[in-house]
Structure 1
C-alpha cells in the first residue's frame, strides 16, 4: 500500500524538481540581456552605415548574434510554462520598435547619431524589461 510517508516523499520530490527548474530557467534572462546588448551595435550600424559593405557587415553581425543565442537557447533543458507566448510577445515588441526606429531613422532623422543612440536604447528596452521580469520569475 501507499502510505502517508510515501505521499510526503512524492511532494518533496515534486518541490525539489520545481526548485531545480526555477533555478535553471535563468538562461532566458541571459539570452535577453545578450540580445539587448546587441542592439547597441546593430541599431546604430543600421542607421548610420550605408552601402553594400555596411549591409554585408550588418547581415553578418546580426546573423552571428541570432545564431549564437539560438544555439544557446536550443541547448537549454528547462523551458517554463508560457515560454512560447512570453517569447513571442517580447520579440514582437522588439520587432515593432526596431522596425519603427529604422523606418523613422531612414526617412526623417537620416544620419543622426543622437537618434541612433535613442533608437538603440528603445530597441533594447523590451528585451531588458523581459530579462528583469524573467530574473524575478526564476528567483
Structure 2
C-alpha cells in the first residue's frame, strides 16, 4: 500500500513539473516572434543596401538582435524536450531562405523594393510558424 501511495505521489509531482515546464516555455515563442520581427528590418537592409555604410548598419543591427536574443535565451530556466532539434530546424530553415534571398537579391533582382518586402516576409515565415507552433504546444 505504501509503495502504491509513494508511486502515485511521485507521478503527481512529475505531472506538476511537466505542467510548470510547459507553462514557462512560452519564452521561446516570444524569442521567435522577436527574431521574425527583426527579419522585417534586416532583410531589406541586406537586399537593398549597398556600400560600406549599409554593411556597417546591417552588421550592427544584426549583432544587437543576436546579442539581445542570446541574453534573453540564456536567462531562461526551462527548455522543453526536443528544443534543440526544433531550434536547429527553424534556424536552418531561416538560414537557407536568407542565403537564397541574399543571392537572388544581388544577382537577379538588384534593388527591387517589392522583392525586398517579399524576401523579408519569406525570411520571417519559418520563425513565425515556429513561434505559432510553440505557442500551441505551451498552452
- TM norm. shorter chain > 0.5: yes
Displacement after TM superposition at 1:31 (Å): 0.5
Displacement after TM superposition at 1:53 (Å): 0.9
Displacement after TM superposition at 1:82 (Å): 1.1
* Equivalent residue runs for 1:61-100 within 5 Å: 61-100=61-100
Secondary structure of the 1:108 match is helix
**What residue ranges of structure 1 are gaps of 5+ in the alignment?**
none
Residue aligning to 1:9 = 9
Residue aligning to 2:55 = 55
TM-score, length basis structure 1: 0.96
Q: How many correspondences in the alignment?
A: 139
Alignment root-mean-square deviation, CA: 1.1
Find the aligned partners of 1:12 and 1:126 in 2 and give their Cα distance.
Answer: 36
Residue aligning to 2:125 = 125
Secondary structure of the 2:109 match is coil
**What residue ranges of structure 2 are gaps of 5+ in the alignment?**
none
Displacement after TM superposition at 1:137 (Å): 1.0
Secondary structure of the 1:78 match is coil
Find the aligned partners of 2:112 and 2:58 in 1 and give their Cα distance.
Answer: 18
Displacement after TM superposition at 1:2 (Å): 3.5
1:107 aligns with 2:107: yes
Find the aligned partners of 2:76 and 2:125 in 1 and give their Cα distance.
Answer: 24
Secondary structure of the 2:95 match is helix
Secondary structure of the 1:50 match is coil
Find the aligned partners of 1:31 and 1:3 in 2 and give their Cα distance.
Answer: 43
Residue aligning to 1:116 = 116
Displacement after TM superposition at 1:94 (Å): 0.2
